[in-house]
Amino acid sequence: MENPPAFAQVLIAWQQNHGRRDLPWQEWSQQRRDPYRIWLAEIMLQQTRVATVIPYYERFLARFPDLAALAAAPVDDVMVLWSGLGYYARARNLHHCARRIVEEHGGAFPLDVDVIAQLPGIGPSTAAAIAAFAFGTRSAILDGNVKRVLCRHFGVAGFPGSHPVEKRLWALARSLLPHQDMDIYTQALMDLGATVCVRKRPACDCCPLRRECVARREERVHELPAPRPKQPLPRRTTSVLLLLHGDRILLEQRPPAGIWGGLLALPEIEATTAPLAAQVAENYDCTVESVEPLAPLRHAFTHFQLEMRPLLCRVVPAGSQVREDRFRWLRLHEADKAALPAAVRKLLRQLARVTV
């Protein structure tokens, strides 16, 4: 292995000339760095591209400018602003984490990277990134981009998500840490993986580490890192109800855990021998006037594919109030601003165009 300081110093010099320095959460003056903003960005960036995150990040800060404001807010307000960003457990954990910091740390973000890692939704790599950017802490990160850089540069074979390979990558990441400029080095690793050493069509000729890169030397750039072993994604099918009364739609708040946890979604109906009208009357206190099947909508999750089969039911509610708190009647134009999963939002927008 090459001298670790040389690896780090090459990256630090490259970042200062070619790295990203204009992202909205970057503050290059140590005195002005806000761990709240850094933490928020790092959580949003988990499994999500920068271009997607930026508008969400800016809207979120406008509504919750500091940790105290986030901790004091209802979780429903957080979910509304997160709607469409995906991986909704991040939003619930973000809110839970803010309250934990207020309750257990007096509202001040903890300085110790190990303490940060134990907070909801963070983990060791994200904790190291937060600590490096906010406090200059010397600690290794190992996100997807960094795994790709290390696998290619050092010729690490095998799927990086497997335990033995990940263990080796953690050891590598720790061995390469510089003794100063941790924030710049950490950003350099992220930038290299995001802009140069990308998954497809990497710009090897622009890479500051190209001369020592094993994958480039051995012409294995497109082999490393090894992909996840292929397994067919299971498919799930569900029938969802678009219970429409005039211009109002009935939505159901999902349980806190599981798919779309805490968001508003369309009620699902299970296949039974009971007639649809009877099920709607019993479960939702509505009389069905008409039923119209709509085109199925497919939505891909990380571990499975979901096919939603919508049934548009024009209904008349039995009373002015819904039977249970988890159900809400919302006007279609209001529903679009609610905390909805992307797939449900797409269905409701299609419905709004059809019913106008």
Domain containing residue 330: CATH number: 3.90.79.10
Is 225 within the bounds of a domain? no
| pTM, two decimal places | 0.79
Residues 326 and 189 in one domain: no
Burial of 251 (0-12, 13-18, 19+ CB in 10 A): buried
Q: Which of 217, 252, 286 is the last residue of a domain?
A: 217
Give the domain CATH number at 112: 1.10.340.30
Is 294 within the bounds of a domain? yes
Is 18 within the bounds of a domain? yes
* pLDDT of res. 321: 64
Is 81 within the bounds of a domain? yes
- 304-329 burial, b for 16+ CB within 10 Å, e for fewer? eebebebbbbbbebeeeebeeeebbb
Catalytic residue at 307?
no
Residues 164 and 289 in one domain: no
Residues 212 and 256 in one domain: no
Q: Are 269 and 241 in contact, with CB atoms under 8 Å apart?
A: yes
Is 64 within the bounds of a domain? yes
Domain count of the chain? 2
Residue 203 CB neighbour total at 10 angstroms:
11
Q: Dmax of the chain from CA atoms? A: 75
* pLDDT of res. 323: 63
Residues of the chain with pLDDT under 70: 1-5, 28-32, 273, 320-324, 354-356
Is 281 within the bounds of a domain? yes
Q: Which of 217, 249, 281 is the last residue of a domain?
A: 217
Q: Are 269 and 349 in contact, with CB atoms under 8 Å apart?
A: no
Residues 67 and 147 in one domain: yes
Residues 250 and 101 in one domain: no
* pLDDT of res. 29: 55
Residues 14 and 93 in one domain: yes
Q: Which of 174, 189, 217 is the last residue of a domain?
A: 217
* pLDDT of res. 130: 96
* pLDDT of res. 5: 58
Residues 154 and 27 in one domain: yes
Query: Quick one: which of 117, 134, 136 has its CA closest to 178?
Result: 136
Residues 240 and 267 in one domain: yes
Residues 207 and 331 in one domain: no
Residues 153 and 188 in one domain: yes
The domain containing residue 127 runs over which residues? Answer: 4-217
Q: Are 85 and 48 in contact, with CB atoms under 8 Å apart?
A: yes
Per DSSP, the three-state class of 304 is coil
Is 227 within the bounds of a domain? no
Residues 162 and 301 in one domain: no
* pLDDT of res. 273: 67
Is 209 within the bounds of a domain? yes
d(CA 235, CA 241): 20
Residues 246 and 302 in one domain: yes
Active-site residue, selected from the candidate residues 42, 103, 212, 218: 42
